[in-house]
Amino acid sequence: MNLFIFSNDLRIKDNKALYEASLDQNGLVALFIIDKTKNKNHGDSLAKLKLKLLGLEKITEPLSSLNISLKILYSKKISDEPGDILDFCKLHGIKKIFLNSEYPFNEKQRNKNLEKICHQHQISYREFNSQLINPDDVKNNSGLPFKVFTPYSKKIRSLMTQDILSETPAPLKQKNRTLDHDEIPKFQDAYDQELNFSFDDFPLTESSASQKLDDFIESSIQNYKKLRDIPCLSATSNLSSSFAIGLISSKQAINHVLESLPDENGTGQSAWITEIIWREFYKYITYHFSHVSKGKCFIPKYDHILWRDDEESFIKWCEGKTGVPIIDAAMRQLNERKWMHNRLRMITAMFLSKNLLVDWRKGERYFMENLIDGDFCSNNGGWQWSASTGVDASPYFRIFNPITQSEKFDPDGKFIKDFVPELLECSSNEIHNPSSETRLSLNYPEMIVDLKSSRLRAIDAFKSIK
């Protein structure tokens, strides 16, 4: 009997490890590991954890139709998982283990330890690339990993042949189902916490994720490049949570687009495919440069920046009480919806790391603990880009002015008014930066920092690092 281990790949189709595990057709068990300590240490949000459990509930039926059993394994911490998996294998006579790769350091180390323990006990261990293209197969002309996105993206596109984009078939049906399904635990029982939150806007199955993508392609993708930065519009695919838990793969997403529209430079669909490649790039960086998984800056010299220890300002940033309307609206969107528009992620991250000069790692952690679509690689990459400490990052002297960004991407203040009700009566020409009199009358605070002087302070802090 074979074992497949789910991670962030909650789908049946285009799941290489699950397919390979099914080929014997002599019995297959799919395992999901609940590890409260690991998830707490990694900062996964309650919303994401609950979304995964809901996704597991939905995948039980298609697994059942293939005679694949779904079992739940509880583990105390990630370093215990290899031993716990071994005990499960011994109990059920498992002879082969299949799983898809994960790239953060702890997961890579766990898989190395699992492979070692499997070899010691004569259990076959097979791990499969979960990227669009294996990270080891994408190198620059010197045979080294890329550190800049644009040449990486060009390389990826040059490698996106029909063969590379070919999707893995659905797993084969097993002759018999060897074990009964475990009941998917209630969220409170699994993680000792409760979450009252509506998941209506987020797909729970691969078919609903696929349909959401098709609807986006049909209705909006051609305008994506022009409208994607306007937060009051629904101009993006809203599939980030589906990518995060693996309801859909990068390969599937690109294929859906290319079935309808060509990847022509300057088009909305080409811009959207580029965003998929950004997701691949940040996983690629995590794979090749493991220090980014250890709380380190991608550019080592910036580990020496003297960040400000300003807990009061950090809390106001978290709560959306900075006195900067677009920042406050974005943070309240995150806190209420467990999701934030991508343009706003950049604006809020740069405000924290530059204007407040608060360590980007605090913001990175806060995002992970609240985002339903939290993905370590993308979140870390995005934060380091905004903080100018990362791969291919924004130059340290290029600092978004949140007022200018607000005027450009939310000109009428519609988004701000949706999340900052104190400013509902504010005129559109004042809403981006209300006067002191208006702030006082609307009970809205003054800015917690001067944008001009804080910008110069940030530039000086970065300049001082030699």
For residue 383, indicate whether it is catalytic.
yes
Task: Confirm whether 206 is a catalytic residue.
Answer: no
Closest CA to 276 of 370, 157, 368: 157
For Cα atoms 264, 267, 273, give the angle at the middle one, nearest 5 degrees.
75
Give the CB-side neighbour count of residue 448, counting CA atoms within 13 A: 23
**Quick one: which of 175, 16, 2 has its CA closest to 89?**
2
Q: Does 26 qualify as catalytic in the annotation?
A: no
151 Cβ contact partners less than 8 Å away, ≥ 6 residues apart: 140
Helix (H, G, I), strand (E, B) or coil at 20: helix
Amino acid at 305: I
Rounded CA separation 353/363 (Å): 8
User: Catalytic: which of 342, 369, 401, 407?
Assistant: 342
Query: Which residues are registered as beta bridge partners of 127?
Result: 99
Which one of the listed residues 102, 106, 278, 379 is annotated catalytic? 278
Task: Identify the H or E element spanning 114.
Answer: helix 105-120
Active site residue 360: yes
List the one residue out of 406, 458, 454 whose CA is nearest residue 428. Answer: 406
Residues 61, 73 contacting (CB under 8 angstroms)? no
Provide the sign of the torsion angle of the four alpha carbons 63, 66, 69, 74, taken in this order.
negative
Catalytic-labelled residue, pool 307, 335, 407, 422: 307
The Cα-based distances of 62 to 56, 127, 171, 313, 322 in angstroms read 11, 23, 11, 49, 48
Residues with Cβ < 8 Å from 108, sequence gap 6 or more?
101, 102, 290
Q: Is 342 one of the annotated active-site residues of the chain?
A: yes
Q: Catalytic one among 272, 317, 360, 385?
A: 360
Write the DSSP symbol of residue 283.
H
Q: Determine whether 339 is an active site residue.
A: no
Catalytic residues: 275, 278, 307, 342, 360, 383
